[in-house]
Amino acid sequence: MTKRIFITATNTDIGKTYVTTHLLKHYAELGHRVGVIKPIETGVEQSPPDGSSLLTLVQELNPLMKDLSINDLVPIQFRLPAAPYCANNAEPIDLAVVDKAIEKIEARCDILIIEGAGGLYVPIDKNTMIIDLIKRFEAKALLVSHCRLGCINDTILSIKALQERSYDFEWTLNCHDDDYSFATVSEPYFRDRYPDFTRFSRDIATIAQTLLL
């Protein structure tokens, strides 16, 4: 069976696509047939920017993906750069098109990375949040947090949300080169509260392996 990994984050612009990209490369280097899907992308003018870069990459890493189109990789697209609920005027969104896209992509891979949109509680429509997709797709989640001031609060809230639903997940910090304050204003707490915490760029091999368990 294909292993499904759902990439989510504490908010938007945290680095989900960066993490997805590097995990795809890492698994491919290990000999896995990789696949990827971004079920929903907003802010699409002509072609989904994140989805387009992921399509180019996955077609390079897995020749079986060559016949896929951008609509396979990003089956739901909206022009307004907002939560899907707002971008679609609060209308219901049929996620069955995503199920069909996943079925098509999974026939070509043994690891499928599903990239979410925004944070866990971004509303898709009146009945569904991004966090609900993890269960719908029966995936193991990777929560990505930032290293700026406020990361402690953001990380704990998202961890608790996943724990309350008894989801199978890992979490990591995606630190940027200019996050100079992290070592003094946030890292001491993580070292005490979560001594085994990971930083994505440093610990990608460990994270990738754990996600397959």
| Contact predicate 49/16, CB 8 Å | no
H/E segment holding residue 164: helix 151-164
What is the maximum span of the chain, computed from C-alpha positions, in angstroms? 49
Residues 158, 143 contacting (CB under 8 angstroms): yes
Q: With b meaning 16 or more CB within 10 Å and e meaning fewer, what string describes 7-22?
A: bbbbeeebbbbebbbb
Q: How far apart are CA 123 and CA 103, in angstroms?
A: 24
- Tell me the angle at which helices 16-29 and 49-61 cross, rounded to the nearest 10 degrees: 0
**Considering 38, 135, 140, 160, which one is annotated as catalytic?**
38
Give catalytic status of residue 38 as yes or no: yes
* Rounded distance between C-alpha atoms, residue 163 and residue 90, angstroms: 28
Helix axis angle for 200-211 and 16-29, nearest 10°, is: 60
Positions annotated as catalytic residues are 38
